[in-house]
Structure 1
Amino acid sequence: MLAMEFKAVIKKSQKVAIDEAIRTARFVRNKVLRYWMDNRGVGKKELDRYNTQLRDEFKFVKDLNSQACQASVENVERAIKRFFDNCKKKVPGKKGYPRFKKHSRFGVADAARTVEYKQSGWKLSPDNKSIKFTDKKGIGNVKLKGTWDLWRFDQKLIKRVRIVQRTDGYYVQFCIKVDNHEQLEATGFTIGLDVGLKEFYTDSDGYSEPNPRFYRTGEKRLKFYQRRVSRKNKGSSNRRKAINKLGKQHLKISRQREEHAKRLARSYRKKSAAFIVGRLCIKGDRFCCKAALF
C-alpha cells in the first residue's frame, strides 16, 4: 500500500464543511464505541447495524457518505481487536483499551482530526489536480498541491481517501494498492543497530549516531508560545492564534523526528543486505528485538 499526501487549497466555506465532516466521523466513532462498552460481547454485525440506526436518527450523520461512516466503525473494530490481541499476548503495561476521541488543539493528525472515505463519495478531476467530494456535507471541489505523480496510477487502485486536519492546514491522503517494494541487489552485508536514549543508535561496527534531540532544541520556543497561550483570555481570538503558533512548533518537531529517522533507515537499507534493530521496551522490563530483512 502506497500513501500519497497533497496539501488542500480550500476556501473558508469549504473549511467549515470539512470541519463538520470530521466532527461527524468522530461522533459516529464515539457513539459506536459507547454502544460496544454498554453491550459487551456484540460483534461486527451489531456495530454495523447500530451505525445504520445513527444514520436514520441524525440527519447530519446521513449527510456524510455512508462508507465514510463505515470507516469510522472499522476504526473502532480495529481498536477493539488490538486491545484483545494485547491481552492474549500478555503485553506488559497498559493493553490499549479503546478510548473516545476528542478534539485536540495541536499536534500531528490522528483519528480525531480525520475523515476517511473509501471508494465512493469522491471523484478525481481528469488532470488529477483536484478532487470533488460528492456527499451532502458541501465540501465540493478541492484543489491539490503537491509533487506526487498521481496520474501514473489507475483510479481503481485508490482504496481510501482521507482528509487530514493539521495545525498548518488541511491535507488529502490517497491510499493506493500497489506493490511498493524496491528491489535491491544483495550485498551480503549484515549489520546490527542498538537504539538507545543517550545515542540515537550504535551499529555493530562501533559507529554511534548522536541523538539530535529536536525536542530539547525547540523547547525554548515551545515554552515561549506556551506562556503566550496562558496569558490570553479563554475564548478570545488572540488565544486561538497563540494556540495555532504553539501547534505549529509541535508539528515542526514531529516532522524533524520523522524525517531524521527515515533518512537514516534509507541509508542503511541501501548498503545492507539485512539489519537487525534492538530497542528497549519502555512499558516493561524485558528487552525487545525486531529484525528487518531486505
Structure 2
Amino acid sequence: MLVLEYKAVVSKQQTTAIEEAIRTTQFIRNKAIRFWIDAPRELKVNKIALNNYSTALRKEFVFVEQLNSMACQSATERAWTAISRFYDNCKKSKVGKKGYPRFQHDNRSVEYKTCGWSLHQTKRRITFTDKKGIGELKLLGKWDIHAYPVKSIKRVRIVKRSDGFYVQFCLDIEVSLEPRLGEGEIGLDVGLEFFYSDSNGHHEENPRFLRKTEKSIKHAQRQIYKKEKGKNQRRIARQRYQRKHLRVSRQRNEHSKRLGRDVCKLNSLVAYEDLNVKNMVLNHCLAKSINDASWGIFRRWLEYFAVKFNSTVVAVNPKMTSQKCSDCGIIVKKSLSTRTHKCSCGCELQRDVNAAKNILNLAKARVGHTQSNATGVGTSTLVGANLLEQVLTVNVESPPSMYS
C-alpha cells in the first residue's frame, strides 16, 4: 500500500464541513464500541455486524446519513481494529494492559473508500460528493499521482493537522524496487550520545530536535494560559504551540527516513537492536531524550527501505552486546559511564562501536533464517531469543518537508 499526501486548500465553509465529517466519523466509531460493549454474550459481534450497525445508525441519525455510506463503514472498521487488537493481546496473554477499546475524543481524520469522491481530469483537484458539503478541494504537492490509475486508489483520507488539512491517497500497488549501490554488512547500535554508532566506527550525531526548540515550545505553551478561555486569541496561541510540535515531529521523521535510506542503499545486511522502547521510556530521567531520538521511527524506515533496496534487516537481542568483547568474546563488565571498551586481549574500542560489532556478529550467525521480499512485508529475525518475531512494514512514503 503506497500513500501519497497532498496539502488541501480549503475555505471557511469547507473547513466547517470537514470538521463535521470528522466528528461524525468519531461518533460512529464510539457508537460501534458501545454496541460491542453492550451486546449480550450469545451475540457474536464481528466486522460484518458492525458494518450492519452503521446502516442502522444512518437510518436513526440524519447527520450520519449525510456522510458517505462507505465512510461510515470505514469508521466501524476503526472500531473493529481496536476490538480485534484487544482479542489478539488476550489470546497471546500479553503482560500488562491488554488495550481494552476506549472511546475516542480527538479524531482528526475521515476516510472514504472507492466512492464518495471524484478526481478532476488534471488530478490536482478532488470533489467529495456526499451530503456533508465539502465540495471541491485544490491539492498542493509534488507527488505525481498521474502515473497511477484511478482504480488503484482504494482509500482517500482527509487529515486535520495544526497547519491545515491534507488529503491522502492510498494506492494498492507494488512499490518499485531500486538498485542497491553496495553489498556491505553493518551493525547499528542506537544511543543518546550519538544517534547510532555502526560497526565500521562511524558515529551519527544525535540531532536532538526537541531539545533545540524546547525553550521556544515552552514559551508558546505559557502564552496559551495567558489568554482568556473561549477567546480567539487562545485558539491562535494553541495552534502556534501545536505547529511547533508538528515541526519537530516532521524533522524526526525526515531525519530517520534519510538515514534509513542511506544505510539500506549501501548495505545488503543491516543488523540493529530489538529495543522495547515502550518500557525504556518508563525511566522518567531518560524518557524525554529517548523519545527525542525516535528510535522506533528509524526502525520502521529501515524495514521499509530494506524492501525497497532488497536488503536484509535483522533485529538482534541487545542483551550483553555492550559488555561482550567483539574480538575474543569475553565478558568485560563496565558501567554506563564507561565509554571505552578495553579487553585483556588488546581490543580497545569505543563502547558503542564494540556493541555494534557484536550486533553484526549475532546477525551474521543467524542470517540464514532471515529474509525480506518486495511485497511490503519484511521479516525481521530476533536473534539471540527463543522466538522469531515477524515485523510487518507498510510501504508509506512521507510527504515532502515543504510544509514543515
1:194–1:277: 8 Å Cα contact kept in structure 2? yes
Instruction: Pick 1 or 2: higher relative contact order, CA cutoff 8 A, min separation 6.
Output: 1
Instruction: Return closer, same or farther for 1:283/1:7 CA change in 2, 3 Å cut-off.
Output: closer
**CA-to-partner distance for each residue in 1:4-32, whole Å, 9 max, x for gaps?**
11110111111111111111011101111
Counterpart residue identity of residue 191, structure 2: G
Counterpart residue identity of residue 12, structure 1: K
More strand by share: 1
Q: Work out the CA distance in 1 between the residues paired with 2:156 and 2:273.
A: 35
1:274–1:292: 8 Å Cα contact kept in structure 2? no
**CA-to-partner distance for each residue in 1:167-189, whole Å, 9 max, x for gaps?**
00001000111111423248432
Q: Work out the CA distance in 2 between the residues paired with 1:86 and 1:237.
A: 44
Paired position in structure 2 for 1:58: 61
Paired position in structure 2 for 1:109: none
Q: 1:213 aligns with which of 208, 215, 239?
A: 208
Paired position in structure 1 for 2:33: 33
Count of residue correspondences:
284
Residue 15 (structure 1) aligned with residue 19 (structure 2): no
Residue 115 (structure 1) aligned with residue 118 (structure 2): no
Residue 152 (structure 1) aligned with residue 155 (structure 2): no
Q: CA deviation at 1:34?
A: 1.5
1:42 is paired with a residue whose SS is: coil
Q: Work out the CA distance in 1 between the residues paired with 2:110 and 2:187.
A: 40
TM-score by length of 1: 0.91
Residue 136 (structure 1) aligned with residue 139 (structure 2): no
1:273 is paired with a residue whose SS is: strand
Counterpart residue identity of residue 60, structure 1: F
1:189–1:273: 8 Å Cα contact kept in structure 2? yes
2:218 is paired with a residue whose SS is: helix
2:29–2:79: 8 Å Cα contact kept in structure 1? yes
Counterpart residue identity of residue 71, structure 2: A
1:276 is paired with a residue whose SS is: strand
Residue 255 (structure 1) aligned with residue 258 (structure 2): no
Paired position in structure 2 for 1:82: 85
Structure 1: stretches of 5+ with no match in the other structure: 104-111
Residue 231 (structure 1) aligned with residue 226 (structure 2): yes
Counterpart residue identity of residue 24, structure 1: T
Q: CA deviation at 1:266?
A: 0.5
Counterpart residue identity of residue 83, structure 1: F
Q: 2:187 aligns with which of 186, 192, 216?
A: 192
Counterpart residue identity of residue 76, structure 2: V
1:93–1:283: 8 Å Cα contact kept in structure 2? no
TM-score by length of 2: 0.67
Q: Work out the CA distance in 2 between the residues paired with 1:240 and 1:64.
A: 28
Instruction: Return closer, same or farther for 1:186/1:213 CA change in 2, 3 Å cut-off.
Output: closer
Paired position in structure 2 for 1:108: none
Paired position in structure 1 for 2:328: none
Q: CA deviation at 1:284?
A: 4.6
1:64–1:136: 8 Å Cα contact kept in structure 2? yes
Paired position in structure 2 for 1:175: 170
1:63–1:137: 8 Å Cα contact kept in structure 2? yes
Q: Work out the CA distance in 2 between the residues paired with 1:88 and 1:35.
A: 22
**CA-to-partner distance for each residue in 1:154-206, whole Å, 9 max, x for gaps?**
00000000000000000100011111142324843221212233432222223
2:229 is paired with a residue whose SS is: coil
Instruction: Return closer, same or farther for 1:215/1:26 CA change in 2, 3 Å cut-off.
Output: same
Answer with 1 or 2: which has the greater Rg: 2
Counterpart residue identity of residue 120, structure 1: C
Worse overlay, 44-53 or 23-32 = 44-53
Structure 2: stretches of 5+ with no match in the other structure: 281-314, 318-369, 374-404
2:277 is paired with a residue whose SS is: coil
1:275–1:293: 8 Å Cα contact kept in structure 2? no
Q: CA deviation at 1:272?
A: 0.6
Worse overlay, 82-91 or 118-127 = 82-91
Q: Work out the CA distance in 1 between the residues paired with 2:210 and 2:98.
A: 27
Instruction: Return closer, same or farther for 1:123/1:139 CA change in 2, 3 Å cut-off.
Output: same
- Identical residues among aligned pairs (%): 49
Q: CA deviation at 1:97?
A: 2.5
2:182–2:265: 8 Å Cα contact kept in structure 1? no
Counterpart residue identity of residue 62, structure 1: E
